[in-house]
Amino acid sequence: MRLILNSILVLAVLFASYVEYVYFIAVPPKLGEVVPFSVRSQGSFIFDQNKALRGRRDIALSRYVPLYTYLPGLAEKVKPKVDDLIKEVSFLQRQKRSKGQKLVTYVYEELGVKISLDEANKLLGYRNLTSLLNGILAFEETILQNIIVEDPEPYGGKNIIEVLYSEPKGIVAHPVEEVITLEQARFMLQDKVTQLFWQVRKEVLDPVIKVSLSTLLPTLKYDQKENDRRIQEIVRRYPSKVIHYKPGDVLVPFRKVLSEEDLLLIVSHGEFTKKNLYGNTPWILIVTLLIVVFHDRLFLKIIDTERQKTLPYRPVLFLLIISIFLFKFCLLFTPFPLYFVPFALLPLLVVLLNYGRIAATWSTVIGAILLTLFSARTFEIFLFFTLGGLTAVLLCSKIQKRIHILLPSLVVGIINVGVLFAYSTKWENMAPLMGNWHEIWAFFQAMVSDKRLSDCLGWAFVGGVLAGPMALFLLPILEMSWRAASNFKLTKYSDLQHPLLKDLFAKIPATYQHSMTMAFLAQAVGEAVGANTLLLRIGAYYHDIGKMANPMFFSENQSSGENPHDNLDPQESAQIIINHVKYGEQIARKMGLPEVIVDFIRQHHGTMFVEYFYNKAVEANPESKPRREDFRYSGPKPQSLEAAILMIVDAVEATFRSMESTSREKVEKMIILNIVKRIADGQFNECNLSTRNIAKIIETLTDSLEATSHPRVAYPWQEKNKR
């Protein structure tokens, strides 16, 4: 099982490191599609926009379609001008004096055309001038039906142009073949007029054509403002900056529709990842394997843990694997900065599930390393998550109610903000400001006003605060899956109205009283040595529930004075005594008690030797001694400090009840004898019971037992009976 878990951990880290890269190889991103997860930088990534987008920008600009605005009613505007000219000519032809000069002035002022006095006189002397002008107007109106532009440069090299007509027609695309320039239109008019009115004298026709050409105007206007805006939009779509992405930065956020820039960014990052693939992958694999080996071999043997010799290996490893997937889920399916990951969730779960603060500390360090491997791979990120996780370990040891988890969560959020702010501050820029508090304050204000930094600080705080609620959400699931028990769940079993405890009280009140006394003593000892007092108290309540199977075979329940063991073989009696542990385990599992309580039931006698019945068996069969193994509990030996305390308290309380003299010296000697006997038998070899703890246990038990047996003043009726 250990090998399987270690293999899953290694594979989980590799999966988390390269899942995006593998996905985009299998399913290449396409323009206009929705990206299914946030794409983040796997290292210090530089994206040269000009290099990546220049070609596409040039293509987009070459394909740009210029926009023109149609000028409606131009023909209707030209006709009145020609009609006015005809009226003026008719009027001047009837005049006798200065009529040529008046025509010169009129043509210049109204049409902006300069003609000579001689040309004006010849025009006025031509009798059919009115008919000539009307004929030219007809040609001009025909030509104005075409698409005429003044400057051909904007659509040079293009295939089509767009023309904005009035509603409801809107924008219509026209091939450039349909477009003529103003110069071409005037040439067409001149050519037509020359061909049709060839019989008109040149000195008359030329000034008429000159005047008519001035009234011919473009039918389309190049919309300079809108076209500039459109071209700038293309340039903005294909920027030319060099962007430096830090490790863990979001390149393309979750569920974004891919633009050309996003697509090129993902492709460029894929090439960056591929280039570093053969360098990073072995390094990630080696570091992960070293962590697994260290955790599996070295740490479990050389680190003196808080309450037991070995870590709860499998649960902690399970939590590491679950955390990797949870943290990767946050990175993939949220668009927020890396600092948003609620990393403190991992140590909070370890502590809440009663695996100890040392296990939580070790999990914090390992989890921070692994998270760094598949997220940012920088020392700063490792320290950011490690410091936040260690803060949670320091503050969550006293959590008794669910509401209490808010304090460590809030403090973790504050620590996250402080660490990130410290990393983001350019201290070298602030050094010259030392002593000038006004400038220093302005410097920090400028930092906080930076939107990118303020967003990161906000999400770092949110990530710390979210760790607590998320831990509370996952806790019941983990408790059901592993039969583990948090302090919240254990509180339910501390209720003396629990059916098992009520049953114990109803069937064997003496054992019930023994358990209650043990709970008092165990809690006092736990407070003295820093053990989990809630665990000790509950373990004491349920440790002897197996005696309900054969209650009368245990001395505290033999109130009548009869001892059923007198009629049994010593080996059979020993098995009845030993089996109360097995029966207790069966009852506990049937009633769904947490595994930690079952462990107390199994370990409270360890592999102790039932010496009394062994000696009776030897006396009964002096020639063939029975096997000592048949007179030992099946164990296991105590695996935690709490289990060791329970074993000592169980023996001490039972022995104390049988003592005639309860002086302090004799009680202390009795306690020492019980502890030494178990040390000599190797019962504490698998837990961390230090000499300092033993000294405190002896002192606390002595004080507690002395307090329970202090003498009282005799009542008068008692004095009378003594006489």
User: Does 567 or 549 have the greater pLDDT score?
Assistant: 549
Structure tokens at 21: 């890269």
Percentages helix, strand, coil for the chain, rounded to the nearest 5?
A: 70, 5, 25
Angle between helices 451-482 and 345-352 (to 10 degrees): 30
Mind listing the pLDDT tens digit for each residue in 395-452?
Answer: 887 777 888 899 999 999 999 999 998 887 765 555 555 666 666 666 566 666 677 8
Nearest to 548 by CA among 592, 601, 496, 610: 601
- pTM of the full predicted structure? 0.68
Position 96 pLDDT exceeds 70: no
Position 115 pLDDT exceeds 50: yes
Q: What SS3 state is found at 117?
A: helix
Mind listing the pLDDT tens digit for each residue in 267-314?
Answer: 888 888 888 888 788 888 898 888 888 877 655 555 544 444 445 677
pLDDT of 429:
58
Sole residue written with tokens 């010259």: 432
Position 588 pLDDT exceeds 60: yes
* Domains along the sequence of the chain with CATH: 2-41+258-482 (no CATH), 67-227 (no CATH), 487-718 (1.10.3210.10)
Give me the mean pLDDT over the 98-103 stretch: 74
Query: 598-601: which pairs have CB atoms within 8 A and are 24 or more residues apart?
Result: 599/639, 599/640, 599/643, 600/535, 600/538, 600/539, 600/542, 600/543, 600/642, 600/643, 600/646, 601/542, 601/543, 601/545, 601/546
Sole residue written with tokens 């009542």: 715
CB 381 within 8 A of CB 248: yes
Nearest to 67 by CA among 138, 192, 170, 140: 170
- pLDDT-derived band at 645, boundaries 50, 70, 90: very high
Position 721 pLDDT exceeds 60: no
Of 78-87, 340-349, 390-399, 709-718, least confident by mean pLDDT is 709-718
Position 499 pLDDT exceeds 70: yes
Mind listing the pLDDT tens digit for each residue in 360-396?
Answer: 888 899 999 999 999 988 899 999 999 999 999 998 8
Mind listing the pLDDT tens digit for each residue in 117-172?
Answer: 787 777 777 777 778 778 877 887 788 788 888 888 888 888 888 888 888 888 88
What is the residue type of 13?
V
- pLDDT-derived band at 23, boundaries 50, 70, 90: very high
Q: Is 371 exposed, middle or buried (0-12, 13-18, 19+ CB in 10 A)?
A: buried
Mind listing the pLDDT tens digit for each residue in 512-525?
Answer: 999 999 999 999 99
CA 166 to chain centre: 52
Q: What SS3 state is found at 715?
A: coil
pLDDT of 648:
95
Please state, rounded to an integer, the average pLDDT across all residues of the chain.
84
Give me the mean pLDDT over the 179-203 stretch: 83
State how far the Cα of 511 lies from the Cα of 577, in Å rounded to an integer.
14
